[in-house]
Amino acid sequence: MEGVSDDAGFASPVAASSAWESSARSYAGRFPRVFVAAQGPWLIDQDGRRFLDFLGGAGVLLLGHNHPDVQAALAAQARPVGNSLDLLTDAKLSFVETLHGVLPGDLARTHKIHFCGPTGSDAVEAALKLAARATGRRGVIAFHGGYHGMGQGALAVSSSRRLREAGLLMAGQVAFCPYPYPLRFPEPFRTPEAAAGFCLAQLRLMIEDDHAGQELPGLVLLEAVQGEGGTIVPPPGFLREVEALCRRHGILLGLDEIQSGLGRAGRWFAYEDDGIQPDLICVSKGIGGGYPLSLLLFDRRLDVWRPGDHIGTFRGQSIALVAGKATLEVIARDALPDNAARVGARLKEDLARRTAGHPKIREVRGLGLMLGIETDSGATADALQAALFQAGVIVETGGREGAVLRLLPPLTIGAAEVEACLEAFAGALECVS
C-alpha cells in the first residue's frame, strides 16, 4: 500500500483514497486509518492499534468480525457454487431450513421468502412492487425519520430532504406520517403515550379522511425501530395500533427490520413485543453473516409474482447463504437476542447515569444493542465521535441534524467491551463540557 501511494505522489493511503474515490464516501473521512485486520469487536489498523468497532458495518456484523463458526463454515465449502442466480443449491436449501427454524411465531408457515439483490434497499424495492401488485394500489404511507435505502423506491419512502434532493420517480405516490418522537415533539405531545396518540390520529386521518389529498394506500411501511433516523423506539402498543388500522382498511403492513432484526433489538424481530404479524418484512444486513444478502418475507397469500418480476444477478449468493446459516445457528445456540437485551439494558442504563445532567446530552435511548445518544447539536455529536475515535472506539452519527451518536456493537459483546466503551465515553464527554 505504501508503494502505491508513493508512486502516485500521495503522502498517505488516506490521501490517495480522497483523490481516487467519489466524494460520496463517508466513513473513510471520519475514520482516517487503513484497517488491515479484525477479530470479534476489534478493528486493527496498519500501525497495530486496536479500535472497538461499535459501528459494525452499520449493523451488519451481528457476531463481530471473523467469528470462528462462520469462518469454519466457509472453509468447509470444498467446491462452492459461485453465482447461481435463483437456482436451487444445497447452500440455499440449508439456509432456508435454518431460517425457518428460528423465525418467530408462525412466520415459517405463513410467509414465503423472496431472495432479493444484495442490499436491504432491494428488499424494500421488492416490498413496494409486491404491495402494488397485490393490492392494485400504488400509494404508500411512510414515516418521518424513516430510512429505507438508496434505490429510487427506497428513497421515495425515506424522509430525509438531503437524500431526496437527487430526484425521485415515485415521490408523488408517498405520503409521510409523524413517527413517535417525544423528545422533539411540541407540548402537549412530549410523553410516549401522547406522542403515539398524536401519530396514530394523524395516520387515521390520512387513511380515513376522504379529503386527505391522497388515494387509499396499498402499503404502510415503517421501521420497527428507526435506525438512521436517530435510534427512535416507538412506545409499546404503537405498532399494534398501526396494524389494526391497516387491517381495518385492507392496507398491507410492511416492517423494515433490516437493521433492527435478527437479535439486535433483544428479540429476533423488534416488532415482536407488540404481538403483530406484518404482511411484509424486509431483512438484510446481518442475515448474510457479513456478506451481501437480503430477502423479503411476505404473507404467502400475496404471492402474485410472475417469474422474473423482481430479479437480480446477485441474489442468494452461496457464500452469503453459508455464512448466514452459520450466523443464525450461533445466534440461536448462544441465545444472543437475550444477551443483546441484557447487555444493551446495562449499557443504556450506565450511559444514562453518566450523562445525567450534562448540558450537551438530551437523551439516551434504544432497544437491545441498538442504542442512541441524542446531543444538543450535530457539532456536539461530531466532536464526541471524533473524541471516541481518538480513544479507540468507532461509532456512527445520525438522526435530525446528525445530532445522535449511534451504537451498533456485536451481539456477542460482554462486560469488558461495555466497560471500555464507557471509559472512552467518559473521556469524550470532557471534550464537549
Match 455529536 to its residue by C-alpha cell.
381
Q: Report the predicted TM-score, pTM, of the whole model to 2 decimal places.
A: 0.93
Provide the pLDDT confidence category of residue 316 given band limits of 50, 70 and 90: confident
Helix 318-333 vs helix 336-355: crossing angle, to nearest 10: 70
Task: Indicate if the pLDDT at residue 357 is higher than 50.
Answer: yes
CATH value of 335-406+428-432 in 3.90.1150.10, 1.10.3720.10, 3.50.50.60, 3.30.470.20: 3.90.1150.10
Of the candidate ranges 147-161, 199-213, 277-291, the one whose mean pLDDT is the lowest: 147-161
User: Between helices 192-208 and 238-249, what is the axis angle to 10°?
Assistant: 10
Q: Which three cell numbers stand for residue 101?
A: 427454524
- Distance, CA of 414 to CA of 417 (rounded, Å): 6
Which has more pLDDT, 13 or 300?
A: 300
pLDDT at 1: 44
Residues 389-420 have pLDDT tens digits of 999 999 999 999 999 999 999 999 999 999 99
Q: In this model, does residue 230 exceed pLDDT 50?
A: yes
Dihedral sign for Cα atoms in the order 97, 134, 145, 292:
positive
Q: What is the pLDDT, as a whole number, of residue 355?
A: 94
As annotated, the residues of the chain forming the CATH 3.90.1150.10 domain(s) are 335-406+428-432
Question: What is the distance between the alpha carbons of residues 311 and 267, in angstroms, rounded to a whole number?
Answer: 30
Beta-ladder partners of 221:
254
Q: Which residue has the higher pLDDT, 153 or 35?
A: 35
Grid cell in block for residue 320: 452469503
Residues in the chain: 433
SS3 of the chain: CHHHHHHCCCCCHHHHHHHHCCCCCCHHHHCCCCEEEEEECEEEECCCCEEEECCHHHHCCCCCECCHHHHHHHHCCCCCCCCCCCCCCHHHHHHHHHHHHHCCCCHHHHEEEEECCCCHHHHHHHHHHHHHHHHCCCCEEEECCCCCCCCHHHHHCCCCHHHHCCCCCCHHHEEEECCCCHHHCCCCCCCHHHHHHHHHHHHHHHHHCCCCCCCCCCEEEEECCECCCCCECCCCCHHHHHHHHHHHHCCEEEEECCCCCCCCCCCCCHHHHHCCCCCEEEECHHHHCCCCCCEEEEEHHHCCCCCCCCCCCCCCCHHHHHHHHHHHHHHHHCCHHHHHHHHHHHHHHHHHHHHCCCCCEEEEEEECCEEEEEECCHHHHHHHHHHHHHCCEECEEECHHHCEEEECCCCCCCHHHHHHHHHHHHHHHHCCC
- % pLDDT > 90, the chain: 78
Say yes or no to pLDDT of 7 above 70: no
Inter-residue contact 136 to 129 (CB < 8 Å):
no
Pinpoint the residues of the chain covered by CATH 3.40.640.10: 71-331
- pLDDT, average across residues 227-234: 97
Q: Which tens digits make up the pLDDT trace of 138-170?
A: 899 999 999 888 777 777 777 777 666 655 556
pLDDT band per the 50, 70, 90 thresholds, residue 182: very high
Q: Is 93 exposed, middle or buried (0-12, 13-18, 19+ CB in 10 A)?
A: exposed
Across the range 176-189, mean pLDDT stands at: 96
Q: Give dist(CA 117, CA 120) in Å, integer.
A: 8
pLDDT for 331 beyond 70: yes
Q: How confident is the model at residue 6 (pLDDT cuts 50, 70, 90)?
A: very low
Q: Please answer whether residues 116 and 123 qualify as being in contact, where contact means their C-beta atoms are separated by less than 8 angstroms.
A: yes
Residue pointed to by grid coordinates 457464500: 319
Contacts of 110 (CB under 8 A, 6+ apart): 277, 299, 300
Q: What pLDDT shows up at residue 114?
A: 96
Average pLDDT, the chain: 92
pLDDT tens per residue across span 41-83: 999 999 999 999 999 999 999 999 999 999 999 999 878 787 7
Please give the C-alpha separations between residue 427 and each of 33, 50, 383, 392, in angstroms, as whole numbers: 21, 18, 12, 11
Q: 120: closest CA among 263, 262, 284, 256?
A: 284
Q: Which residue has the higher pLDDT, 151 or 94?
A: 94
How confident is the model at residue 12, as a pLDDT?
77
CATH of 71-331, one of 1.10.10.10, 3.40.640.10, 3.40.50.300, 3.40.50.1980: 3.40.640.10
Question: What is the predicted pLDDT for the residue at 157?
Answer: 75
pLDDT tens sequence across 96-133: 999 999 999 999 999 999 999 999 999 999 999 999 99
Give the pLDDT of residue 8: 58
Residues 244-282 pLDDT 10s: 999 999 999 999 999 999 999 999 999 999 999 999 999
pLDDT of residue 309: 84
* Range of weakest confidence among 144-153, 297-306, 365-374, 414-423: 144-153
